[in-house]
Amino acid sequence: MAGASSSSYVLILCSFLFVSSAIAQTSFRPRALILPVTKDPSTLQYLAQINQRTPLVPVSVTLDLGGQFLWVDCEQGYVSSTYRPARCRSAQCSLARATGCGECFSPPRPGCNNNTCSLLPDNTVTRTATSGELASDVVSIQSTDGRNPGRNVSVSQFLFVCGSTFLLQGLASGVKGMAGLGRTRIALPSQFAADFSFDRKFAVCLSSSTTARGVVIFGDGPYRFLPNIDASTNLIYTPLIINPVSTASAYSSGEPSAEYFIGVRSIKINEKDVPINTTLLSIDSEGNGGTKISSVNPYTVLESSIYNAVINAFVSELSNVTRVTPVAPFGACFSSRNIGSTRVGPAVPNIDLVLQSESVYWRIFGANSMVQVNNDVLCLGFVDGGVNPTTSIVIGGHQIEDNLLQFDLATSRLGFSSSLLFRQTTCANFNFTSNA
């Protein structure tokens, strides 16, 4: 009697546990998501793996901070039972601002369906674009509590665009597309924020190492790096500026740029003003000029007159150090024997990008300004963008490594940490050991 009643009690308890864990599984709402990022040593591109399709496969993609959306090659090797093209005039097409309606005159396959809307997938490394079908498929990504990766979560209808095999030219070996983190509604940050109802915020922390991973975190902080440093605190904030004219390789008129622009007002080296033509620092009515941040340029690119002024000022501030023959693509190189080292890299003059007021600046220290090209030579890691480039200053990968950048799309604001080396951590210090 007593035995029977206790075993039915056990049975009830078990089914209760089963039911409650099934509910927890389906109602689990991550507060943030995490995407590990590697740096490809030959192209210097930052790469991530997106787990997509049914069955799930890891798809290697080049990270494009200002990119409009995720695009992948659908021409070769795209196999999935959950691929769905976006039908013309559907809510998906309108969210993506894809107004056209297309037909395809080959046998149907992912990327080739009738009555679908299309967009222009863009290889922003080679600046080549084509037309591709808007579609959705399953994407799975790891959640995080801001400290470790947690359980994987999936989005059943993640929007992306089908690219072509030829569009992969110029991307790192094995890469099958690009992951756009730009300002559109269908770029990764906005889609994840909408799918999991968290803030439209994300952080990028790129590692300077080709062997240790950096990270993109979708959602708000904390963003903890070993040894327990929350890099979302002590950020400096500056407004993000919308360039009203698209900077993509191909676009329809009236489209704003998906890229992240900030308002640099002047440049200082060793706290002295560098004489530059300030007209180049603002964005004109055709969308030219201004300053943007890019993950597809390995080094900062400056319009020629700005480049020459920066090189001259830097060289004169470092006149006590032997200048050596420049090593391409750089213009100012120095013997590293005469340069001391500090916690934040080689002991060279600081470069400040002065923002909305004199007291708000992005300070670039030696670790982010200098590139070690060989044992004896350090070069200033800026390159000449020629005369009349579309954008006057493109802050590139080397200058943002080991800095945490938080983009807040709702308030159109960038938070930046400057060098994390000051806080005795790096972007490679996220603890990737899962605690799921």
Ligand X SMILES: *[C@@H]1O[C@H](CO)[C@@H](O)[C@H](O)[C@H]1NC(C)=O
Consecutive H or E run containing 197:
none
Residue 412 touching ligand X (CB under 6 A): no
Contact 333/379 with Cβ under 8 angstroms?
A: yes
Residue 280 touching ligand X (CB under 6 A): yes
**In the bound complex, what is the minimum distance in angstroms from residue 9's beta carbon to ligand X?**
33
- CB burial of residue 47 (10 Å; 0-12, 13-18, 19+): buried
Contact 429/421 with Cβ under 8 angstroms?
A: no
Consecutive H or E run containing 3:
helix 2-27
Span interacting with ligand X, options 103-111, 257-265, 362-370, 409-417, rule CB under 6 A? 103-111
> Omega into 275 within 30° of 0, i.e. cis?
no
User: Which positions ≥6 away from 126 have C-beta within 8 Å?
Assistant: 169, 170
**In the bound complex, what is the minimum distance in angstroms from residue 278's beta carbon to ligand X?**
8
Nearer to ligand X, 104 or 194 (CB): 104
Contact 399/364 with Cβ under 8 angstroms?
A: yes
**In the bound complex, what is the minimum distance in angstroms from residue 145's beta carbon to ligand X?**
10
Enter the DSSP assignment of 282. S
Residue 114 touching ligand X (CB under 6 A): yes
Tell which one of 99, 277, 341, 412 touches ligand X (CB under 6 A).
Answer: 277
Residue 322 touching ligand X (CB under 6 A): no
Tell which one of 11, 226, 250, 410 touches ligand X (CB under 6 A).
Answer: 226
How far is it, in rounded angstroms, from Cα 129 to Cα 127?
A: 7
Nearer to ligand X, 48 or 296 (CB): 48
Nearer to ligand X, 60 or 123 (CB): 60
**In the bound complex, what is the minimum distance in angstroms from residue 250's beta carbon to ligand X?**
23
Nearer to ligand X, 280 or 301 (CB): 280
Alpha helices, H only, 282-332: 304-317
Tell which one of 30, 85, 349, 415 touches ligand X (CB under 6 A).
Answer: 349
Residue 13 touching ligand X (CB under 6 A): no
Residue 131 touching ligand X (CB under 6 A): no
**In the bound complex, what is the minimum distance in angstroms from residue 410's beta carbon to ligand X?**
27
Span interacting with ligand X, options 273-281, 293-301, 402-410, 420-428, rule CB under 6 A? 273-281
DSSP β-bridge partners for residue 377: 335, 374
**In the bound complex, what is the minimum distance in angstroms from residue 115's beta carbon to ligand X?**
8
Nearer to ligand X, 13 or 386 (CB): 386
Residue 316 touching ligand X (CB under 6 A): no
By CB under 6 A, the count of residues binding ligand X is 24
Q: Terminal CA-to-CA distance of the chain, rounded, Å?
A: 41
Residue 347 touching ligand X (CB under 6 A): yes
**In the bound complex, what is the minimum distance in angstroms from residue 105's beta carbon to ligand X?**
6
Which amino acid appears at position 369 of this protein? S
How far is it, in rounded angstroms, from Cα 358 to Cα 137?
A: 47
Nearer to ligand X, 112 or 171 (CB): 112
Residue 25 touching ligand X (CB under 6 A): no
Which residue shows structure tokens 């210097």?
44
- CB burial of residue 256 (10 Å; 0-12, 13-18, 19+): middle
Residue 113 touching ligand X (CB under 6 A): yes
Which amino acid appears at position 157 of this protein? Q
Contact 369/342 with Cβ under 8 angstroms?
A: no
Question: Which residues contribute to the site for ligand X (CB under 6 A)?
Answer: 51, 103-105, 108, 112-114, 142, 148, 152, 226, 277, 279-280, 320-321, 338, 340, 347, 349, 431, 433, 435
